[in-house]
Chain A
Amino acid sequence: DGGITQSPKYLFRKEGQNVTLSCEQNLNHDAMYWYRQDPGQGLRLIYYSQIVNDFQKGDIAEGYSVSREKKESFPLTVTSAQKNPTAFYLCASGHTNYGYTFGSGTRLTVV
């Protein structure tokens, strides 16, 4: 089955630590996206990539970094510079003409 897989489902980060969230898709989509979801708010775009080896900042890129070395993979690193990282992170892929396919999300908590 084609789909988009995020891992882990739950992640705990200590203060000052970098963590990496995984996102893999086998839908042969060129474009991939990372969104952050906070309670009572819509999804906010962190980074997106339209093609391998290229990515652009979204609305809230500070404190995050990404890479796109393979078409299938778009990992997100939450760095220690992100002061309020506790949130639900959603990865998506696809074309805006047809709607995105979303992964099941990673819930990140600072401990």
Chain B
Amino acid sequence: GEDVEQSLFLSVREGDSSVINCTYTDSSSTYLYWYKQEPGAGLQLLTYIFSNMDMKQDQRLTVLLNKKDKHLSLRIADTQTGDSAIYFCAESIGWGYNKLIFGAGTRLAVHP
């Protein structure tokens, strides 16, 4: 079946690195995504990784994919207070206009 799981809460100190983890169950996932949601707003696409890649880096963001363990992580370097938000992991199954399956979201709290 299709399922995406994330831990619900993460607290980090400003300037430290944050690592948000996600596991998924469907081995036929083609793309995996990280979205950010600030309070009362829609979701903003942060980055995505194709299933045949192990890693993708984009400025302060590093995505690691372990396809064998069906584990995805998002590392935010030098975390700032503006990074406080809910982060959603999502997977797409198959090709084309298929739906995305979202995790429940991880609330990241950044404190001084």
Contact yes or no, B44 A102, CB < 8 A: yes
Q: Judge if B10 is at the interface, Cβ distance under 8 Å.
A: no
B42 CB contact (under 8 Å) in A30, A45, A104: A104
Chain B residues in the interface with A (C-beta under 8 A): 4, 8, 30-31, 33, 35, 40-45, 48, 88, 92, 95-100, 102-105
Chain A residues in the interface with B (C-beta under 8 A): 6, 30-31, 33, 35, 40-43, 45, 48, 50, 58, 90, 92, 95-105, 107
B45 CB contact (under 8 Å) in A35, A42, A100, A105: A100
Alpha-carbon distance A97/B30, docked complex (angstroms): 8
A98: chain B residues at CB < 8 Å are 48
Given A96-B96, A97-B31, A97-B95, A42 contacting B42 (CB threshold 8 A): no
Q: Contacts A99-B48, A103-B42 given; 13 further ones with Cβ under 8 A?
A: A40-B8, A42-B88, A42-B102, A48-B99, A50-B97, A58-B99, A96-B98, A97-B30, A97-B92, A99-B31, A99-B35, A105-B41, A107-B40
A31: chain B residues at CB < 8 Å are 97
B30: chain A residues at CB < 8 Å are 96-97
B102: chain A residues at CB < 8 Å are 35, 42-43
B104 CB contact (under 8 Å) in A42, A96, A100: A42
B31 CB contact (under 8 Å) in A41, A90, A96, A105: A96
Alpha-carbon distance A102/B46, docked complex (angstroms): 12
B88: chain A residues at CB < 8 Å are 42-43
CB distance from A109 to the nearest CB of B (A): 13
Alpha-carbon distance A101/B46, docked complex (angstroms): 11
